[in-house]
């Protein structure tokens, strides 16, 4: 069974003015599509074929660069699209907000740490909000298409919020102003979806 490029749950222009339609179209139809195609080619005829993407990444042989990069790219973008919404932004509520305030002292402190994870990522990579078993939250960053599911990446737990800081995620609109893109990203976070994932993974 091959992996399929997911359809976005909104139109390419739905996140404007925070993330522009042209960036979304190229990012989804070109970059994510390429990761999907290359992942399928890499696992075809191997013992990885038919496994879930989560199983592949949790048990990843990190020396297998093709599966590492394309499997990560496939999984990371699947989550990225889901945790954004045209009706996003604002603050989380309920159990998720309580956990953020417990583990980061305040939402503003969480935002500062998440922003720092994105801004300080040298070159391409991702910022993550992860949940560990028992419900503890943590923020971290990974290079390239690595993610917290992979072994020995220095990030623990299961991702529930992903922010892409590769230049192709923002360069058409923000050029080299990554902090501006990150500030805009907070206006489109789908906190309902993040909260749903938190409830499942804690």
- The C-alpha atoms of residue 68 and residue 6 are separated, in whole angstroms, by 19
- Tell me whether residue 78 is in a domain: yes
- Tell me whether residue 1 is in a domain: no
In 3D, which of 93, 88, 90, 125 has the Cα closest to residue 9? 88
- Tell me whether residue 8 is in a domain: no
Q: Check if the beta carbon of residue 3 is closer than 8 Å to that of residue 67.
A: no
In 3D, which of 33, 2, 27 has the Cα closest to residue 15? 27
How deeply is 87 buried, as exposed, middle or buried, from its count of CB atoms within 10 A (0-12, 13-18, 19+)?
Answer: exposed
Q: What pLDDT shows up at residue 156?
A: 83
Q: Specify the number of domains making up the chain.
A: 1
Domain that holds residue 33: 20-202
- Tell me whether residue 99 is in a domain: yes
- Tell me whether residue 160 is in a domain: yes
- Tell me whether residue 142 is in a domain: yes
Residue 126 sits in a domain of what CATH number? 3.55.40.20
Q: Could you tell me which residues come within 8 angstroms of residue 85 by beta carbon, excluding any fewer than 6 positions away?
A: 9, 10, 188, 189, 190, 192, 193
Strands (E), 16-135: 125-131
Q: Check if the beta carbon of residue 72 is closer than 8 Å to that of residue 57.
A: yes
Could you list the pLDDT tens digit for every one of the 202 residues in the chain?
A: 689 999 999 999 999 999 999 999 999 999 999 999 999 999 999 999 999 999 999 999 999 999 999 999 999 999 999 999 999 999 999 999 999 999 999 999 999 999 999 999 999 999 999 999 899 999 999 999 999 999 999 888 999 999 999 999 999 999 999 999 999 999 999 999 999 999 999 9
- Tell me whether residue 29 is in a domain: yes
């Amino acid at each position: 069974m091959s992996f399929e490029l997911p359809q976005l749950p909104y139109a390419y222009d739905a996140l404007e003015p925070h993330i522009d339609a042209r960036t979304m179209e190229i990012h989804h139809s070109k970059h994510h599509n390429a990761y999907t195609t290359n992942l399928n080619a890499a696992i075809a005829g191997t013992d990885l074929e038919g496994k879930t993407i989560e199983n592949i990444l949790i048990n990843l042989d990190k020396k297998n660069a093709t599966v590492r990069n394309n499997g990560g790219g496939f999984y990371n973008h699947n989550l990225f699209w889901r945790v954004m919404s045209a009706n996003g932004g604002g603050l989380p509520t309920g159990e998720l907000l309580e956990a953020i305030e417990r583990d980061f002292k305040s939402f503003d402190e969480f935002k500062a740490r998440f922003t720092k994870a994105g801004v300080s990522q040298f070159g391409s990579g991702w910022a993550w909000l992860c949940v560990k078993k028992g419900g503890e939250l943590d923020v971290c960053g990974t290079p390239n298409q690595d993610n917290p599911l992979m072994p020995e990446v220095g990030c623990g737990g299961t991702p529930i919020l992903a922010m892409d800081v590769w230049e192709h995620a923002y360069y058409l609109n923000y050029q080299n102003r990554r902090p501006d893109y990150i500030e805009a990203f907070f206006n489109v976070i789908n906190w309902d979806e993040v909260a749903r994932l938190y409830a499942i993974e804690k």
